[in-house]
Structure 1
Amino acid sequence: MELDRRLLSAHCAVHALSIAAGLLVVVPMALNGSAFKGRCALFSTGYWRAETRGADTEPSADASHLVVQQWGPLAACQFATFVGIFTVLYGAAQSWRGFFYLHGRHDDTLFSSFLTVLLSVCVLFLSGGASVLLSLGLVSWCDTVTDNNTRPYSCAESQSVPLYLDVDTSSFYTELSLAQASLWCVTALWLAQSILAFLRLYHSHSQHISGPCLPREKELLLGHSPSECGSSPSPPLPSATPTLLV
């Protein structure tokens, strides 16, 4: 029973951490989507075009501006946001449920524990895929902004450089990099949730298997002859009645 409470307490703590990590994914992605007017910067393609100020002058780097050929797919940003929202909602529900179980001193059934393991593993793969997608998309956007690292500034510094776009790019790197780091934290927390859910399932299964053996241990303590675990007691044999000799 003490192991049950420790596993349940650890699971509640991981759920609480996942709420904070999920919010750190959702809020920056929402701010970035608002600043980019509903467009997705991930996997966007474009090039830098230099403007000529006169017929006899050469193109100047100061007069160049970024031209976005195609904005990234909205699904790339929405996928990361969906994983963050689901993590927050699931973590809040499971935290309340875990604290309720701790107060009531009981745990999930065997079938419910199995479903928790299955769901945790599925969302683990989803969050891992979203983390890889967000990381690759940010690298692609940084290559576009820095012109494949040929500009005199880094991707982090480019948010303070005027890109002459019709969107607000003053904090895109801060928002996307924060969402990226938080999403990898969410993936790590889902891995911890999967491990804890499996340990709770294994412990619940062990308790379920050892349940029929408890009467046998009680019989041993009381000095009675032990019976086999899980077998029904055999009925007593009828005693032979003595025959009367006449």
Structure 2
Amino acid sequence: MELDRRLLLAHCAAHALSVVAGLLVVVPMALNGSAFKGRCALFSSGYWRTEERAELTEPPQELSRLVVQQWGPLAACQFVTFVGIFTVLYGAAQGWRCLFYLHGRHDDTLFSSFLTVLLSVCVLFLSGGASVILSLGFSSWCDTVTDANTRPYSCAESQSVPLYLDVNTSSFFTELSLAQASLWGVTALWLAQSILAFLRLYHSHSQHMGGPWLHRDKEFLLGQSPTESISSSSPRPPATPTIFI
């Protein structure tokens, strides 16, 4: 298999994996947003408060509940979701183009390959930033839920502990941890796509420069101009005899 087809096939596989990873970011974030009634758990701040709960037949009992002072900014969750949606749409479109190029046995132009490299690098930085935001925001929410790790349970176990909030917290750790791992996977795939796009650009540029200019470069290296080679290679007409009278 030729090098350009191998690079194109690897790029197709990276696009297909990016679609799957992007869906694993979008779906958990959408479920978490629905469970939290449109609020963002990332970077939320709060504290635990102990209250006495009076029963009719039992003595008063102490009840600990989480009080959220301020929910996280919606822009953090929306940015993470946007990166996931863009990855799914872009991966699907580019995957279709890769299959079309594999079937037609041709590749992008140099300008299109350059734009692909530029776009891949830009989205790589965006996905990396979104991964950092999601990781830091998730860690901040876990510190709030576990009261800076002073509670007798971990962040994973806290989703089965009643927090007495007006939102559904029964699966927040599963959703956010899945979105976090998938988003870091998306970042790794964008890095792979950037490298593959650069290799395809370099290979296309080498083929473009090595085609019409290869023969001319060889002639210049041999110290012979193209016009001289043409004139030397063309046959000379036979000399006619001269008759003196």
Report the TM range for the smaller structure's normalisation.
Answer: 0.7 to 0.9
**Residue 112 (structure 2) aligns with:** 112
**Residue 143 (structure 2) aligns with:** 143
**Residue 175 (structure 1) aligns with:** 175
C-alpha displacement of 1:101: 0.2
Separation of aligned partners in 2, 1:184 and 1:168: 26
1:75 aligns with 2:75: yes
Separation of aligned partners in 1, 2:21 and 2:71: 27
C-alpha displacement of 1:64: 1.1
C-alpha displacement of 1:18: 0.3
**Residue 222 (structure 1) aligns with:** none
CA deviations over 1:190-238 (Å, ceiling 9, x no partner) = 0000010010011001001101146679xxxxxxxx8559x76467499
**Aligned residues with identical type, % of pairs:** 81
Q: Out of 157-166 and 235-244, give the one that drifted further.
A: 235-244
C-alpha displacement of 1:166: 0.6
**Residue 199 (structure 2) aligns with:** 199
**Residue 101 (structure 2) aligns with:** 101
C-alpha displacement of 1:29: 0.1
Separation of aligned partners in 2, 1:242 and 1:51: 125
Contact 1:23 1:88 in 2 (8 A): yes
1:9 aligns with 2:9: yes
Contact 2:46 2:68 in 1 (8 A): yes
TM-score (norm 2): 0.87
TM-score (norm 1): 0.87
**Residue 35 (structure 1) aligns with:** 35
Separation of aligned partners in 2, 1:180 and 1:187: 11
SS across alignment from 1:42? strand
* Alignment RMSD: 2.5
Separation of aligned partners in 2, 1:241 and 1:149: 106
Contact 2:216 2:226 in 1 (8 A): no
**Residue 24 (structure 1) aligns with:** 24
Separation of aligned partners in 1, 2:89 and 2:22: 9
Q: Out of 82-91 and 235-244, give the one that drifted further.
A: 235-244
C-alpha displacement of 1:58: 9.1
Gaps of 5+ in 1: 218-225
SS across alignment from 1:70? strand
Contact 1:227 1:233 in 2 (8 A): no
